[in-house]
Amino acid sequence: MKNVIFVAGLMFCVPAISADSHSADVARAEAAKAQKQTKKVCVDVVKDGQPVKDAKGVTKQNCKEVKQHKKLEGTDVPVKK
């Protein structure tokens, strides 16, 4: 009798454990997809019309992460007669 209860308990626990791992996989996939949709854009820092340089002589830059969206191509709207 104890074995039957134990097996019944396992039947309910195993799907719950596999569902948790599936949701974690989905979360990782969404995070990777979100990373691919961003793009790093850098612009040189300009002061009084001249680029600003640091002590090593390298031009300073302001960098930002920008969302990158796909452009959707549509069809022309039909003209009403």
Kindly give, in sequence order, each residue whose CB lies less than 8 Å from that of residue 51, ignoring residues fewer than 6 positions away.
44, 45, 59, 60
CA geometry: angle at 35 spanning 69 and 58, to 5°? 95
Res 77: pLDDT: 84
Lowest-pLDDT range, 5-9, 33-37, 56-60, 61-65?
Answer: 33-37
When pLDDT is cut at 50, 70 and 90, the band that residue 43 belongs to is very high
**What pLDDT score does 15 carry?**
59
Q: How high is the mean pLDDT of the chain?
A: 77
